Amino acid sequence: MLLRSAVAATANRPRTRPEPDRAARRAQRTRRLGATGATNVLVQGGKIGLYLISIPLTLRYLSAERFGFWLTLSSLLAWLSIADLGLRNTLINILSKAHGQGDTATAAAAVSTALAVQAGMAVLLLGVVVPVILGVDWHAVFNISYLVSTTELRLGLAALVACLEAFLLANGISAIQFGYQEGHWANLWQAAGVLIAAVALPIAAHHKAPVWALILLTTGTPLVSTAASGVVVFGLQKTWLRPRWAHLSTSMVSRLLSSGTMYVLAQAAGAALFSSQNLIISHILGADRVGVFGITQKIVTLPSTVVVLLTAPLMAAVGEAYARGDVAWVTGTLARAIAVLRVTAIPAMAVLLLGLGPAVKLLTMHQISVNWGLAIVLAAYCVVIMFAQPYSVVLYGLALVRLQAAIAGATAVLTVAAGVILTMHWSLLGMGVAMLVPAALNFLAVFVCVRRALDREASRFCTGG
């Protein structure tokens, strides 16, 4: 009923014929949205394919503990990514608004200042994490036996930090392309890195590459290729944004960090929502149980991953449309997205569940069996995430990040707390339930907030406020 009312309310709003220049902008915005969404799916499809082929290649020589350790470290990158202090999303918002207003001076100042701040954070990060890697008992943290050496654990963590350094550099470059609704270029560069990793992975597995090498190869290579695209961005595509000392601005630092604080909270909440499960399972049930959950979650949530990738470019498009006063395009696009999901979400999940058993057996060479209770709960969770995602992106695009951070933060606290308690009592099924219930509450919250925000903005532009 809620979804039906959302679509109906949007469709029944009065429409006016757009001016020729507005019509052209809408067409361009929609084309770029489609190109970025399609290449998002291409890149993430490549990453998922890389992950899937890595399972049979590495499971045959890595122990269950080492395999679980690798999966856990890969999921931890989402937690460590909050080290960018929310600068990427803040920069996308600033650039999309500046693009809509034709303000190249603000865009240049934002880019130079953001890259300088990120470079400083990368240096500071090394000084913080090195003592932590050397001083913490990681066997206790990951609940891993001493059959896996301390040196091996530390090297894996060091590789993760190296990927984070590359992530900080790549973040600023991709933010520029996404801010100007040209995220397809960033995606194509990242796709090149995924392709290189896919070619090199069988060679690495043949030589029984350790966990740290697998992390650098599968996670680090796409990040490095994205960072390398900066040569093209600053050298050919957007020379006016080339970093210069003269463009550094203390006021822009304040603007970036003040908005970035809210994004950090939202990112931390997102990491808790989507990437805390492996660590909790490893600590409570043991690293050898991470594989069962991680593989099931990765496969079952594929449809929600596709929706996230297709709707992510909406953030910059919504920001640019809002800056031009084109709220009708935002509401219409959101309504169409929900209408498509109503037709496709449930059938997609049904087809995926039918093929889940054979897929898991094939990928793990019959070493892992499907936990069907967990799979069904995760399927319901996936459907909820699919419907919530377009509303969440619109909140970001309208720069209502404080509201989004509050909603995501409350959801994250509930997810982590329930995850710890229910995993202790119901094992892996408990973790699935702990993800589903908070996700449903999160959807209701963002649905109501977006409806109210769009109605308010439409009224303001209609009255010239």
Tens digit of each residue's pLDDT, the chain (465 residues): 433 444 344 434 333 344 447 677 778 777 887 788 788 888 878 888 887 788 888 877 887 788 888 878 877 766 666 667 778 878 888 888 888 788 888 888 988 998 888 888 888 888 888 888 888 888 888 888 888 888 888 998 888 888 888 777 777 888 888 888 888 888 888 888 888 888 988 898 888 888 888 888 888 887 787 777 888 888 887 888 888 888 888 888 888 877 666 766 776 677 676 778 888 998 898 877 887 888 888 888 888 888 887 887 777 788 778 777 788 888 888 899 899 899 988 888 898 899 888 888 887 776 778 889 999 999 999 999 999 999 988 888 887 777 877 888 888 889 999 999 999 999 999 999 999 999 999 999 999 988 888 887 766 655 554
Residue 379 contacts residue 349 (beta carbons within 8 Å): yes
Rg (alpha carbons) of the chain, rounded to whole number:
22
- According to the model, what pLDDT value does residue 254 have? 83
Please state, in angstroms and rounded to a whole number, the distance separating the CA atoms of residues 216 and 28: 38
409 three-state secondary structure? helix
DSSP code at position 242: S
**Is the pTM above the cut of 0.75?**
no
Residue 432 contacts residue 289 (beta carbons within 8 Å): no
Please state, in angstroms and rounded to a whole number, the distance separating the CA atoms of residues 419 and 65: 21
State which amino acid sits at residue 119. A
- According to the model, what pLDDT value does residue 80 have? 61
Contacts of 45 (CB under 8 A, 6+ apart): none
Please state, in angstroms and rounded to a whole number, the distance separating the CA atoms of residues 393 and 401: 10
Residue 454 contacts residue 331 (beta carbons within 8 Å): yes
Measured CA distances, 131 to 125, 135, 136, 258 (Å): 11, 6, 8, 29
Please state, in angstroms and rounded to a whole number, the distance separating the CA atoms of residues 187 and 47: 12
263, with CB counted inside 10 A (0-12, 13-18, 19+), is buried
Reported as half-sphere exposure (CB side, CA atoms, 13 A), residue 245 has a value of: 0
Please state, in angstroms and rounded to a whole number, the distance separating the CA atoms of residues 64 and 50: 19
Please state, in angstroms and rounded to a whole number, the distance separating the CA atoms of residues 292 and 368: 6
- According to the model, what pLDDT value does residue 186 have? 82
Q: Where are the domains of the chain?
A: 2-459
State which amino acid sits at residue 374. L
